[in-house]
Structure 1
Amino acid sequence: MVIAGLVLAGVAALVHVFIFYLESIAWTSKRARRIFGTGSVEQAAAQKELAFNQGFYNLFLAIAVGLGIMFFAIGEHVVGATLVFTGAGSMVAASLVLLLSSPDKAGAALKQGVIPALGVIVLAIGIAL
């Protein structure tokens, strides 16, 4: 169960690295505008600074999870689990904020939050057993 929890958290981290890419690097691209519904290049350009910053939040959460997985793999289970729970738990919390503040973005909130939530739950069960 521990490995399954770590794999799920790792997948969530990869999703958040992709979100970082879209927000911080490719924000004004056609693909990012379609995914985030920003419309025109001009609208995206006006939001670019905020998106750039937000993208780094997603990257830092992914890094925390990645480091946690690495620490867990080298036998530092307490440090590893703490980092995974912190990173993935923050992903879940952010998805809940999105869901509650913008119910019309429920699909995006679920895409961002379900996998890390499953990772946290499965890892917690695996550690408890």
Structure 2
Amino acid sequence: MSVVAQVFVVVAGVFHIAVFALESLLFRKPSTYKRFLVKDDTEAAVAKPWAFNQGFYNLFLAAGALGGLIAGGDKGHAIALFSCACMAGAGIVLIASDRRMVQAAASQALPPILALVLAATL
């Protein structure tokens, strides 16, 4: 895998670690839950268990991407790229489910898509 593709794998992994922090650690803060279109404390209390679980999903995707790079070789790179494919797919589902989330979906999906394209072409 090219160095440029690896850079985008790292960007995608770091982004998903940040989202983990928002969803699993900081979700009850109004400035955080409003990013996810949650209106108030009542809605945040209902959504918190889902957000907590979703945060760990993002952490595990990041672990696959970054861990695959660290492991290296064909198998490690395959794990990293599979994680990127899952990240890209989740971003596509996000925009398909709610057009108001276009910026979040682009932030989530573009780095792993670039990693996949660059890994396939370079």
Q: Normalization by structure 1: what TM-score? A: 0.89
Using the aligned pairs only, state the percent identity.
31
Cα offset, 1:34, TM superposition: 3.0
1:71 aligned onto 2:67: no
SS state of the match for residue 116, structure 1?
helix
Q: What is the CA–CA distance in structure 2 between the aligned matches of 1:104 and 1:36, rounded to whole Å?
A: 10
Cα offset, 1:104, TM superposition: 2.2
SS state of the match for residue 104, structure 1?
helix
Partner of 2:13: 13
Over the aligned positions, Cα root-mean-square deviation in angstroms equals 1.3
Unmatched tracts of structure 2, length 5 or more: none
Partner of 2:24: 24
SS state of the match for residue 6, structure 2?
helix
Aligned length: 122
Q: Which moved more, 1:98-107 or 1:88-97?
A: 98-107
| Mapping for residues 27-46 of structure 1, pairs under 5 Å | 27-46=27-46
Unmatched tracts of structure 1, length 5 or more: none
Which runs of structure 1 show a deviation greater than 3 angstroms over 4 or more consecutive aligned residues? none
Cα offset, 1:31, TM superposition: 2.5
Q: What is the CA–CA distance in structure 2 between the aligned matches of 1:113 and 1:54, rounded to whole Å?
A: 16
